[in-house]
Structure 1
Amino acid sequence: MYAEERQIATARLVAERGRISVADIAERFEVTTETVRRDLSTLERRGLVRRVHGGAVPVETMAVLESALGEREQTFTAQKDRIAQAALDLLPTAGGTIAIDAGTTTSRFAHALPRDHQLTVVTHAVPVAAQLAGSPQIELHLLPGRVRPATQAAVGAETVDALSRLRVDVTFVATNGLTLAHGLSTPDHEEAATKRALVNAARRVVCLTDSSKIGVETTLRFAALGNVDVLVTDSDIDDDVADELRESGLEVVIA
């Protein structure tokens, strides 16, 4: 089978199944996984499929909606715990100021903050604030705004305005998707504006996300990869993807 024939057949297979893994495609067409990844890259450039971690989905099925916070809390829990622990090495020195974004991984990171490390913490996330309220080592600042039920986080003009007047040492940001081409993205306009403000308020930006989000693009970009200093993710990330991200200038920490 010629490459073009295989690529057309692959595109049809993705359309029929809705999602298919690199390994499944390689087995079906008796080619290497490296060949499959090249084929998928070609198909993605033509707008026929969208690459995601470990495989591909049809373009029209790309995620544009957020799952509820409770649902997300139950997924990839072990990976998120490892990411949270690894991210502790990226804290500023005692007395520094950090911002923590809303998200299940960032919430676990907040829970893991050491008890003997004095920090000022700024957040718009109600779950994060609830975990840190009363912690003697934390000076906590909760940002104003309307709280979205989906993420339990304050968003809106008030939130963005408050962030525009702040400067923090490190922002720990979450994302719904991360790709080389589209950067960091999220489906909601107000969430995107708030995340963008969190990124702009920081001297250093650290993205905490499990590998299932890598290779995914959602509607609204809130940061280019060049706006992010470090990505902390889990060991399920594709080695080739990790190398590409590093080559783009992003420091990648595997938890």
Structure 2
Amino acid sequence: MLTRHRKELLLARLRQDGQIVAKSLSEELGLSEDTIRRDLRDLASEGLLQRVHGGALPASPALGNFAERQQISGDAKPAIARAAAAMIAPGQVVFIDGGTTAVQLARALPQDLQCTVVTHSPSVAVELAGHPLMEVILIGGRLFKHSIVTMGPSALEAIAQIRTDIYFMGVCSLHPDSGISTGDFDEAGVKRAISNMAQRTVVLASPEKLDTASPYQIAPLSQVSAIVVTRDAPEALLARYRTMGIDVVKA
């Protein structure tokens, strides 16, 4: 079988099954595992899938820059934001992540909501500047331009001093096996630190992020209390999250 044909077959199988197990596929096709793994490495380098131990998972389309991500799931993100906003009770201390869905969440918060919002996203902080009853704490540090958030030692030090009721996390990928993940090593560490300081971690999951993987794991799904998805998200995708004890909130 020609290399091109093998790769087309691998991508077709990934679309069909949602994952590739190298050992099983090599036995089915009568090819060596080394050949399958080499093809998977090539496809991963082209951004067409994400390598994981033993095979591959779909790559998240949410790995593009901030401007590109604003064009993805444009209708879904405001709906997810409204559902997430309804989860905040007066008087709570909440952490709102960076990213395009997080900005929509900030826009969805009522003007008369009295709470404290902590964020390392300048974009989120600016959205909340006009809320008269809301205390806004902006974490400083080096600006990570991909997600328009601050990172680095000073950001981590500040995060470690604030316990929050809810952390609304934005991710590139969410998968029952590989957990929650993103495309930058340092960003994964910052998100993990924020989650560790929160009583509840709620993942904002627009449709393209479900059942995909990105290079750097933030945490296993046991760290997640709830995910907010669109109303039309397929039940077949959501069932495994429910069986893991995660609340699934449909927007």
Which runs of 4 or more aligned residues in structure 1 lie more than 4 Å from their structure 2 counterparts after TM superposition? 17-22, 44-49, 57-61
Instruction: Name 2:118's counterpart in structure 1.
Output: 122
Give the Å deviation of 1:64.
9.8
How many corresponding residue pairs?
Answer: 225
Q: Which residue of 1 aligns with 2:86?
A: 89
- For 1:1-255, what aligned pairs fall within 5 Å after superposition? 15-16=7-8, 19-20=11-12, 36-37=16-17, 40-41=18-19, 43=21, 46=24, 58-59=49-50, 62=59, 66-91=63-88, 93-255=89-251
CA contact (8 A) 1:117 1:137 kept: yes
Q: Note the residue ranges of structure 1 that are not aligned, 5 or more in a row.
A: 1-7, 26-35, 50-56
Deviation of 1:115 after TM superposition, in Å, equals 1.2
TM-score (norm. length: structure 1): 0.79
Q: Percent identity?
A: 30
- Aligned partners of 1:42 and 1:21: how far apart in 2? 7
Q: Is the alpha carbon distance of 1:171 and 1:44 closer, same or farther for their aligned partners in structure 2, counting shifts above 3 Å? A: farther
TM-score, length basis structure 2: 0.80
Please give the alpha-carbon distance, in whole angstroms, between the structure 1 residues aligned to 2:207 and 2:61. 18
- Say whether the 8 Å CA contact 1:123–1:143 is kept in structure 2: yes
For 2:241, the aligned partner's letter is L
CA distance in 2, matches of 1:14, 1:103: 36
Give the aligned residue type for 1:249. Answer: G
Task: Identify if the C-alpha distance between structure 1 residues 42 and 97 changes in structure 2 by more than 3 Å, giving closer, same or farther.
Answer: same
Structure 1 vs Structure 2 CA RMSD: 2.9
Segments of structure 2 that go 5 or more residues without pairing to the other structure are 26-35, 41-47, 52-57
CA distance in 2: counterparts of 1:154 and 1:135, whole angstroms: 22
Shift in Å at residue 42 of structure 1? 6.2
What is the alpha-carbon distance in structure 2 between the residues aligned to residue 44 and residue 250 of structure 1?
29
Q: Counterpart in 2 of 1:52? A: none
Contact 2:181 2:188 survives alignment (8 Å): yes
Displacement of 1:13 after TM fit? 6.6
- Evaluate the alpha carbon distance shift between residue 13 and residue 63 of structure 1 in structure 2; reply closer, same or farther with a 3 A threshold: farther
Distance 1:244 1:140, change over 3 A: same
